[in-house]
Structure 1
Amino acid sequence: MPKVGMPDIRKPQLVQATMNVIERVGLHGASISLISKEAGVSAGIINHYFGGKQGLLEETMRAILREHSRVITAALKQLPRDAHYERINAIIDGNFNGFQTESEVVKTWLAFWSYSMHDPQLYRLQRVNEKRLISHLKIELKTLVPHPQSLSVAHGIAALIDGIWLRGALNPRGIDAALARTIINDYLDKQIIYYNNL
């Protein structure tokens, strides 16, 4: 967590520099020296405000998660509260369009996922993000499938989002947002039909 007093203009600059360096050399090669050169600041500033690379990586992931949440929240605000199917699609789109598909963001996400398995703080951030996604989906599923099954369907959609995103991130052609929506909607439609005909 950045220390109080860091100029706000520096945080986005350092976050962007961190993502740029991770994109070029990967997480393990992303040294404080390379990041500070990319940002045009001294390594001492990063160490002072973030306590080193670990703290800067945490702030970078928080920034990505905040933007991710902001995009989805803004999309949901544009839709009526009872347009549950459309709101689920807004959540899907928020994972496959714009900021989330920029090369440096994708590579930082991948690094974050792998690193979070061994780092308690990054793992906590990942769990917060996962719980937020499941919560959003459950809210929208409440009138589409019977309540007891909404959690299971939410987990299914979340697994598809993560899996399709990961496959797209590792594909030289990138993430196909239209295909993602088609696959996930096919799953959702089948779940709605199945659970409403029990």
Structure 2
Amino acid sequence: MPKVGMPAIRKPQLIDATMEAINEVGLQKASVAMISRYAGVSPAIINHYFGGKNSLLEATMRSVLQQLSEGVRQRLDETDTDDVIARVKAIVGGNFDQRQLDSKVVKTWLAFWSQAMHEPSLYRLQRVNEQRLLTHLKVELKRVLPNEQAVFVAQSIAALIDGIWLRGALAPSGIDGDLAQRIITDYLERQLPADILKKYS
């Protein structure tokens, strides 16, 4: 985590520089010296406020996850509270928001996932993100499905989001957010009772 007292304008600058460096050369080659050049600051600034590259990656992912959470929340706020299907679609849509599909953000996600297996602080972030997604989905699905089935469908949708996202991230053409949402909507509608589908159609 960055130290208290870092100028507010500098943190976004460093976070953007971290993503730019990862996008250009990958996490392993994205040295503190390279990130500092992208940000237009000295390496000493990064070491002083973050203590090194791993803490800077953590701060970067916290920023990405906050943007993701805000995107989902905004979509939910704009959706009818009684329309369960639309609200699940809003949650899925937030995960495929164009800001999350930007090349540098995608590559930062991939770097984060690979490092989360080895860094406890990053692993905790991943778990928080995973649980937040499942909680959003279960809250909506439990309104129209029995508890056990709602949990199963929520876990399945989360797995589809991650799987489609990862496949797209590694594909030359990138992630097709519209296709992803159509695939997941098709799965969702197959899991819901006919009377629920009729109610929200």
In which range does the TM-score fall when normalised by the shorter chain? over 0.9
What is the aligned partner in structure 1 of residue 82 from structure 2? Answer: 82
Deviation at 1:174? 1.2
How much does 1:80 deviate?
2.0
Q: Which residue of 2 aligns with 1:136?
A: 136
Shift of 1:183: 1.1
Counterpart residue identity of residue 116, structure 1: A
Q: Which runs of 5+ in 2 are unaligned?
A: 197-201
SS in structure 1 of the partner of residue 94 of structure 2: helix
1:21 corresponds to which letter in structure 2? Answer: A
Separation of aligned partners in 1, 2:181 and 2:6? 40
- Equivalent residue of 1:23, what SS? helix
Separation in structure 2 between the aligned mates of residue 71 and residue 90 of structure 1, nearest angstrom: 9
Question: Which residue of the partner structure matches residue 97 of structure 2?
Answer: 97
In structure 1, the residue matched to 2:188 is 188
Residue 96 of structure 1 deviates from its aligned partner by: 1.3
Residues in 2 aligned to 1:192 and 1:145: alpha-carbon distance in whole angstroms? 7
Is 2:170 aligned against 1:170?
yes
2:32 match: 32
Q: Which residue of 1 aligns with 2:71?
A: 71
Q: Gaps spanning 5+ residues in structure 1: where? A: none
Whichever residue aligns with residue 73 of structure 1, its letter is R
SS of the aligned residue for 1:98 comes to coil
1:17 aligns with 2:22: no
Q: Tell me the TM-score normalised to structure 1 length.
A: 0.95
Work out the CA distance in 1 between the residues paired with 2:104 and 2:161.
19
What's the CA shift string for 1:165-186, capped at 9, x where partnerless? 1111111111111211111111
Structure 1 outlier segments of 4+, above 3 Å: none
Q: 1:92 & 1:169 partners in 2: Cα distance?
A: 17
2:97 and 2:132 map into 1 onto residues whose CA distance is 18
- Please say if 1:56 is aligned against 2:56: yes
Superposed CA RMSD: 1.2
* Larger helix proportion of the pair: 1
Percent of aligned pairs with the same amino acid: 59
Deviation string 1:76-98 (CA, Å, 9 cap, x unpaired) is 11112111110111111111121
In structure 1, distance between residues paired with 2:120 and 2:173: 33
Q: TM-score, normalised by structure 2?
A: 0.94
Q: Secondary structure at the match of 1:174?
A: coil
The separation in 2 between residues aligned to 1:79 and 1:93, in whole angstroms, is 12
Kept in 1: contact 2:71–2:97 (CA 8 A): no
Aligned residues: 195
Distance 2:147 2:119 in 1: 35
What is the Cα deviation at residue 148 of structure 1? 2.2
Q: Which amino acid aligns with 1:57?
A: L
Q: Separation in 2 of the partners of 1:32 and 1:53?
A: 6
- Matched position secondary structure for 1:5: coil
Instruction: Look up the match of 1:152.
Output: 152
